[in-house]
Structure 1
């Protein structure tokens, strides 16, 4: 009888230990996982405006903002819908648009298509008139993303906060500041007393931008090149004649030319290179012309544009005294 009782106690202890072990090794419940992945309502503060959204967002539509497309590329975010350029997505964004649906051209977002996609948020553009933003906002909360270069950090941090990638965004900004410090040291004897101009050829015409728009914020604000008078006066994209460019006669010229933006005049760059005024410029004579230093579809005032341009431009400028 005693032996039988001792055996019973041993069995009970064995079963209990096994049960405890199973409890100890049991994986975290699905309930706990779902809670951590659950979106929570967040106040997103961006350029003096507050937007209430459930973050992290999963379904993003990018309407008209190529700046946001560049940030998305840098952070590895695939929008469910985005604006097209000439009916397609620029080759630059092929790695994030394999599953993206076109929602119309960047100046004409298609509200019906956006509505069908059921986005969590719409990233618009400050280039849009208020009426367009208002229409988009009726579909879903719309944030007009700045196209001004000086807002590049705020833009990247916005997308990082929306998608749960704030740390990645902060690291990109920090790395840029480190690279910029080194670049300033490299070019300190060159940029302080030299003039530089970035030209964008669009449908055969030459354009310049204000000193805080396009790549100018990097060239002037970050690297310290002298700002020509026409750049200082510009309030937006401004047409510049070859004659006026000849009068400015800058030391360095960056030319951005893409087929997409010159469909009506595909030989514009070749024609420019043959022009007598162009060949008389000191930048041309000294070999200080850089054509497409970076992808011509880059917008200039984004983290991707700035990091890419800083790397390419500094290497080129350092080699061309």
Structure 2
């Protein structure tokens, strides 16, 4: 009996030692996140992980990398192209300029401009008015606003595109990225490319190519618009043939009344801020000799879109006119 009891005690002691060893092993495995080297690997709580969400993004503009808010809420734009693009992207700026004089209405083709604070004109934005709006992002362009770039950057992160007009596609993508709408910007550009391909196909299907003239009557001269203009680029994208005098590189060329033949085309588009400037051309004895005039294919188009729009909404208005006058008539 004694030996049996002693054996029982030995067995119980052995079991106890095994249990103790298991507990010690478990304790070594759960050493508060310390590895063999003694470094801590404490897990980040879910709430702390959420707090690490980025509040800024880096955008490349005409000057280099610019850090902008991830979700800007108070945006000031300095030109109509940026205003046009942002509104189409569903983003309403708090401030924008008029085309010509401070306080002038925004272009009529733009919708949802109510409540946007006027900050002066495109050429002379009011820095005090911009500062008073407490923007968290400013969008402008180097061509027009280079001299005030540094002052603007002191007010808020400032994104500048290089230029306007023929760079409208690149500008759209920069504007979209700056306001966190990069994918939407790409979709708008793809929509344009689809429409312009359709227009090009319809124009190329015509029996003979049409030469299309583009000009602007002015008080003291006549300007023909060349390839490197906003509207000239759209016509080039559509494969529209231009008169020989309008195929040169550059923005525009000034004509005298004696050179009026350079305006001629099978179809003639003109725009001006003053209709009286066009009326002077009509009085020229050479005007009636133009084939576009004789065919009654002279059309006034909206200067706010063809000349000063510079954004995706204006682009689509120009394409509408090209469909209307070159395909559907």
Superposition CA RMSD, Å: 3.0
Residue in 2 aligned with 1:82?
96
Paired residues of 2:281 and 2:287 also in contact (CA < 8 A)? yes
Among 223, 230, 236, the residue aligned to 1:214: 230
* d(CA) in 1 for partners of 2:66, 2:207: 41
Provide the secondary structure at the position in 2 that maps to 1:128: helix
1:231 shift after superposition: 4.7
TM-score (norm 2): 0.74
The SS at the match of 2:308 is: coil
1:285 aligns with 2:294: yes
Please report the TM-score for the alignment, with normalisation by the length of structure 1: 0.75
| Contact 1:249/1:283, CA 8 A, preserved across alignment | yes
**How far does residue 254 in structure 1 lie from its aligned partner after superposition?**
0.8
Q: Which deviations, in whole Å up to 9, do the C-alpha atoms of 1:162-192 show, x marking residues without a partner? A: 2232232222111111112211110004598
Which structure has the bigger radius of gyration? 2
Contact in 2 for aligned 1:39/1:57 (Cα 8 Å): no
- After superposition, the Cα gap between the structure-2 partners of 1:177 and 1:148, relative to the gap in structure 1 and judged at 3 Å, is same
- Closer/same/farther in 2, CA of residues 248 and 128 from structure 1, 3 Å limit: closer
Aligned match of 1:271: 280
- 8 Å contact from structure 2 (residues 164, 310) kept in 1: yes
Q: Is the 8 A contact 1:71 1:302 kept in 2?
A: yes
Counterpart position of 2:327: 318
Would the alpha carbon gap of residues 175 and 116 (structure 1) be closer, same or farther in structure 2, given more than 3 Å must change? same
- The unaligned stretches of length 5 or more in structure 1 are 1-30
Q: Cα distance, 1:39 vs. partner?
A: 6.5
**How far apart, CA to CA, are the structure 1 residues paired with 2:284 and 2:104?**
33
CA distance in 1, matches of 2:302, 2:119: 30
Match of 2:212 in 1: 196
CA, structure 1 residues 109+272, in 2 after alignment: closer, same or farther (shift >3 Å)? same
Q: What whole-Å deviation, never above 9, does each CA across 1:14-73 have from its counterpart, x for those lacking one?
A: xxxxxxxxxxxxxxxxx89x969x76211112458322111221111112x211122123
1:196-231 deviation digits (Å, cap 9, x = unpaired):
222124456432334131200011233242363355
Equivalent residue in structure 2 for 1:144, among 143, 160, 168: 160
Residue of 265, 278, 282 corresponding to 1:250: 265
Select 1:304's aligned residue among 310, 313, 327.
Answer: 313
Task: Write the distance in 2 (CA, Å) between the matches of 1:241 and 1:110.
Answer: 37
**2:232 paired with 1:223:** no
- Distance in structure 2 (CA, Å) of the matches to 1:62 and 1:282: 43
Residue number in structure 2 paired with 1:120: 136
Measured in 1, the distance between the counterparts of 2:109 and 2:326 equals 28
Structure-1 separation of matches of 2:317 and 2:76 = 25
Cα distance change on mapping 1:221 and 1:175 into 2, 3 Å? closer
Residues 227 and 246, structure 2, Cα contact 8 Å, conserved in 1? no
SS at match of 1:124: strand
Q: Which residue of 2 aligns with 1:182?
A: 198
Residues in 2 aligned to 1:41 and 1:196: alpha-carbon distance in whole angstroms: 47
Residues 1:66 and 2:80 aligned together: yes
Displacement after TM superposition at 1:297 (Å): 6.7
